[in-house]
Amino acid sequence: MSIIYEPKGRAREYAPLAANLYTGCSHGCKYCYVPKILEKSPEEYRKAEPRQNILEELENDCKKYYASEKYVQLCFVGDPYDLVDQEFEITRLALKLFLKYKIPVSILTKGGSRVLRDIDIFEQFGEHIIVGQTFTFWDKEKSVKWEPYASLQQDRIHALRILKQNGIRTWASFEPVIEPEETLKIMEHALPYLDYIKVGKLNHFEEIENKIDWHKFAIDVIRLLNESGKPFYLKKDLREIAGVDNMLTPEQKDPDGMKVKPFSHHKFEEKKLTLF
Q: CA angle, corner 174, sides to 173 and 179, nearest 5?
A: 165
Query: Does residue 110 fall inside a structural domain?
Result: yes
Query: Does residue 196 fall inside a structural domain?
Result: yes
- pLDDT at residue 246 greater than cutoff 60: yes
Query: Does residue 216 fall inside a structural domain?
Result: yes
Confidence of residue 266 (pLDDT cuts 50, 70, 90): low
Query: Does residue 263 fall inside a structural domain?
Result: no
The more confident residue out of 215 and 33 is 215
Report pLDDT for 171: 98
Q: What pTM did the predictor assign? A: 0.93
Query: Does residue 266 fall inside a structural domain?
Result: no
User: What Cα–Cα distance (Å) separates residue 47 from each residue in 57, 89, 208?
Assistant: 22, 16, 28
Cβ-contact 233, 253 below 8 angstroms: yes
Query: pLDDT tens, 103-133?
Result: 999 999 999 999 999 999 999 999 999 999 9
Query: pLDDT tens, 5-60?
Result: 999 999 999 999 999 999 999 999 999 988 888 888 988 889 999 999 999 999 99
Give the whole-angstrom CA distance, residue 93 versus residue 113: 18
Task: Name the percent of the chain lying above pLDDT 90.
Answer: 86
Mode of pairing for the β-strands spanning 17-19 and 4-5? antiparallel
Give the whole-angstrom CA distance, residue 135 versus residue 70: 25
Considering only 53-62, 72-81, 229-238, 257-266, which range has the smallest mean pLDDT?
Answer: 257-266
Domain that holds residue 38: 4-253
Task: Name the percent of the chain lying above pLDDT 70.
Answer: 96
Cβ-contact 181, 217 below 8 angstroms: no
Instruction: Tell me phi and psi for residue 17, to 5 degrees.
Output: -135, 155
Give the whole-angstrom CA distance, residue 53 versus residue 127: 29
The sign of the torsion formed by the CA atoms of 94, 99, 105, 110 equals: positive
The more confident residue out of 35 and 219 is 219
Average pLDDT value over all residues in the chain? 94
At a CB cut-off of 8 Å and minimum separation 6, what does 22 contact? 48, 49, 50, 51, 75, 77, 78, 79, 82, 84, 85, 90
CATH assignment of the domain containing 249: 3.80.30.30
Query: Does residue 261 fall inside a structural domain?
Result: no
Query: Does residue 272 fall inside a structural domain?
Result: no
Query: pLDDT tens, 141-188?
Result: 999 999 999 999 999 999 999 999 999 999 999 999 999 999 999 999
Report pLDDT for 276: 45
Neighbouring CB atoms inside 10 A of 219's CB total 15
Query: Does residue 258 fall inside a structural domain?
Result: no
Give the three-state DSSP class for 67.
coil
The conformation of residue 70, written as its DSSP 8-state character, comes to: S
Give the whole-angstrom CA distance, residue 266 versus residue 67: 8
Count of domains for the chain? 1
